[in-house]
Amino acid sequence: MKKYSLLFIHAVLHCWTVGLVVSRASEKQVWPVPYQRLDRRPDVDSFCQALYPFCPTGDPDGRIPVMGDGDVISVFRLQTPVWEFKYGDILGKFHVMHDAIGFGSAKAGRNFTMEWYELFQLGNCTFPHEREGESAPFWCNQGAACFYDGIDDLHWKQNGTLEKIGEISGEMFNELALWVQKDNETGVYYETWTVKSDPGANATTWFESYDCSQFVHRTYKKLLELGAQLVSQTPTNYTKIYLYSGEPLYLGDDSIFQQSSKKDLAADITKFYHWFRSHQSVVDMIMSLFEAFEKMVLEKTFYFYYNSEYWKLPMKYPYLQITYEEIPFP
């Protein structure tokens, strides 16, 4: 009798949790889950300390110089292998590339580089920290736009791309600058992964990444809206880091780690990320990706963090892929 009532309670609880999931799902989940915009960029917790300063040569307040109305501004497509202090350009061999945009003013005779990247490097944007006295994983995952004087031709040209793809007016540039500052203030969290149902052409995208190349695509889109024409003579390939899974299951935000009813789930998430904590280097992180791969094959679960909330991904073959694929201008 006792056993049955326990089973019954278990069944009710189970239905109740499933019911919760369903009721959220019945709000008609939109895929891919829209990336959340904030009103303003929150301050970074002092726990997050950059090994390399972010945007060292940019204006500290993110100001972008105003161009003259009659000016002609060249637009450059910039790409180079992600460079790692310890391992050099080895990541170029895997086609893990970094993307940026260059501008050159004919009137002022000056040029500029604009890129969007992690404040605390890729590892910190991909995996969280375990922090003393805090039950929830702790993320140092902000990314931001950096605009600075000069284009280092050699850096981009030698093992990457430096290609002029168009010209815009000074007015267009100034409008673009306002848009960049707003984009920078409202889109603040880096996301490494793109999550899809499968590698095929008709796959459903569950989550879109938010990284340097997405910034470049958004900027191109804005430039086209402003009336620019962009043309490339070479293939425009970009690095994408994919996870493949069935339909993701919503789990909740940091409150998971405060509710005793979610103790097991909290422990599971903590255990999952324990494998991948505190990375200093991109190569260590790539190594972790392969560990993650093993774990995904075995357990077919990935706890995914997006918009400061957790999702459970029922992982599917081929689980994880790094591709360098062509994405045309919007």
Ligand X SMILES: *[C@@H]1O[C@H](CO)[C@@H](O)[C@H](O)[C@H]1NC(C)=O
Cβ at position 285, least distance to ligand X in Å:
10
What is the spatial distance between Cα 183 and Cα 242, in angstroms, rounded to a whole number?
24
C-beta of 270 vs 301, nearer to ligand X: 270
Cβ at position 195, least distance to ligand X in Å:
19
The stretch among 139-147, 239-247, 260-268, 269-277 that binds ligand X (CB under 6 A) is 139-147
Q: How far is CA 92 from CA 163, 179, 254, in A?
A: 18, 31, 36
Tell whether residue 91 is a contact of ligand X (CB under 6 A).
no
Tell whether residue 224 is a contact of ligand X (CB under 6 A).
no
Tell whether residue 105 is a contact of ligand X (CB under 6 A).
no
Tell whether residue 149 is a contact of ligand X (CB under 6 A).
no
The stretch among 151-159, 204-212, 241-249, 262-270 that binds ligand X (CB under 6 A) is 151-159
One-letter identity of residue 76:
F
C-beta of 150 vs 314, nearer to ligand X: 150
Which residue sits closest to ligand X, CB atoms considered? 62
DSSP lists the bridge partners of residue 325 as: 238
Tell whether residue 65 is a contact of ligand X (CB under 6 A).
no
66 Cβ neighbours under 8 A, 6+ residues apart? 174, 177
Cβ distance 312 to 256 under 8 Å?
A: no
Tell whether residue 151 is a contact of ligand X (CB under 6 A).
yes
Tell whether residue 181 is a contact of ligand X (CB under 6 A).
yes
Identified binder of ligand X from the candidate list 73, 82, 101, 140, rule CB under 6 A: 140
Tell whether residue 106 is a contact of ligand X (CB under 6 A).
no
Residue ranges in 2-41 that form contacts with ligand X under rule CB under 6 A: 41
Helix (H, G, I), strand (E, B) or coil at 181: helix
Cβ distance 97 to 160 under 8 Å?
A: yes
C-beta of 23 vs 202, nearer to ligand X: 202
Helix (H, G, I), strand (E, B) or coil at 113: strand
Cβ at position 200, least distance to ligand X in Å:
5
Residue ranges in 228-267 that form contacts with ligand X under rule CB under 6 A: 235, 237
Cβ atoms within 10 A of the Cβ of 244, count? 22
C-beta of 201 vs 298, nearer to ligand X: 201
Beta strands in the chain (DSSP E): 72-81, 97-105, 111-118, 143-149, 161-169, 193-196, 205-207, 237-245, 249-252, 301-306, 309-326
Per-residue contact track with ligand X, 292 to 311, x per CB under 6 A? --------------------
Cβ distance 316 to 242 under 8 Å?
A: no
Tell whether residue 89 is a contact of ligand X (CB under 6 A).
yes
Tell whether residue 120 is a contact of ligand X (CB under 6 A).
yes
125 burial (CB, 10 Å; 0-12 / 13-18 / 19+) is buried
Which amino acids are annotated catalytic? Answer: 98, 212
Identified binder of ligand X from the candidate list 135, 158, 255, 258, rule CB under 6 A: 158
117 burial (CB, 10 Å; 0-12 / 13-18 / 19+) is buried
Residue 260 has what DSSP assignment?
Answer: G
Please choose, from the candidates 187, 234, 181, the residue with its C-alpha nearest in 3D space to the C-alpha of residue 39: 187
Which parts of this chain interact with ligand X (CB under 6 A)?
Answer: 41, 47-51, 55, 58, 62, 76, 89, 102, 104, 111, 120-121, 124, 129, 140, 144-145, 147, 150-151, 153-155, 158-159, 162, 180-181, 184, 200-202, 235, 237, 280, 324-326
